[in-house]
């Protein structure tokens, strides 16, 4: 086991232990693991299953059900582009196409420099000021292709 894997396991064990006694702890644990490691590595599944007395299949089944959970590492920032109806009504298709082109990836992909992972979102709750984009936890409204360039530039500088 590499040092990194060992550290990840320690982190997962700490998270599992901190939820001891909580009813229905699996989602909170998975969310915390992903927030801490960026994704849910295969080794974490084993530790979580053991900690909660579940089968690995149970844990894997939950991870694979929810769109938010990732089983692979992502870029330093996650860019979500909303493609729901209210954003389509204000031409989010142009923003989507521009995002894919600017980052050189399709949905689910990570830009070659490792800065951004692009994801589709189905409503970010900003439907009166679309097209909407979220970078990590920061929400942006009226994101035209030009504004998307400006937003991405800000985050590139930051990282």
Sites of contact with another protein (CB under 8 A): 23-28, 30-31, 61-62, 65-69, 80, 84-90, 121-130, 132, 134, 137-142
- Nearest approach in angstroms of CB 103 to another protein is 20
- In the complex with another protein, the residue whose CB is nearer, 87 or 103, is 87
Annotate 97-111 with b (16+ C-beta within 10 A) or e (fewer): ebbeebbebeeebbb
- In the complex with another protein, the residue whose CB is nearer, 103 or 124, is 124
Query: In this structure, are strands 116-121 and 77-82 parallel, antiparallel, or unpaired?
Result: parallel
Closest CA to 130 of 88, 80, 78, 79: 88
- In the complex with another protein, the residue whose CB is nearer, 8 or 80, is 80
- Nearest approach in angstroms of CB 22 to another protein is 9
- Nearest approach in angstroms of CB 89 to another protein is 3
Alpha-helical regions (H) of the chain? 3-18, 26-37, 42-52, 56-65, 85-88, 92-103, 145-158
d(CA 11, CA 158): 26
- In the complex with another protein, the residue whose CB is nearer, 3 or 65, is 65
- Nearest approach in angstroms of CB 113 to another protein is 26
């Amino acid at each position: 086991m590499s040092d990194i894997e060992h550290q990840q396991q320690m982190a997962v064990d700490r998270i599992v232990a901190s939820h001891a006694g909580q009813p229905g702890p699996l989602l909170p644990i998975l969310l915390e693991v992903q927030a801490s490691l960026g994704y849910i590595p295969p080794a974490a599944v084993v530790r979580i299953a053991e900690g909660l007395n579940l089968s690995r299949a149970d844990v894997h089944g939950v991870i694979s059900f929810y769109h938010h959970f990732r089983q692979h590492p992502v870029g330093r920032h996650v860019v979500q582009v909303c493609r729901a109806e209210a954003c389509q009504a204000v031409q989010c298709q142009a923003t989507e196409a521009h995002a894919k082109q600017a980052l050189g990836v399709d949905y689910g992909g990570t830009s070659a420099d490792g800065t951004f992972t692009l994801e589709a979102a189905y409503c970010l709750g900003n439907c009166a000021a679309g097209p909407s984009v979220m970078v990590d936890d920061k929400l942006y409204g009226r994101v035209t292709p030009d504004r998307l360039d400006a937003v991405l530039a800000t985050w590139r500088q930051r990282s």
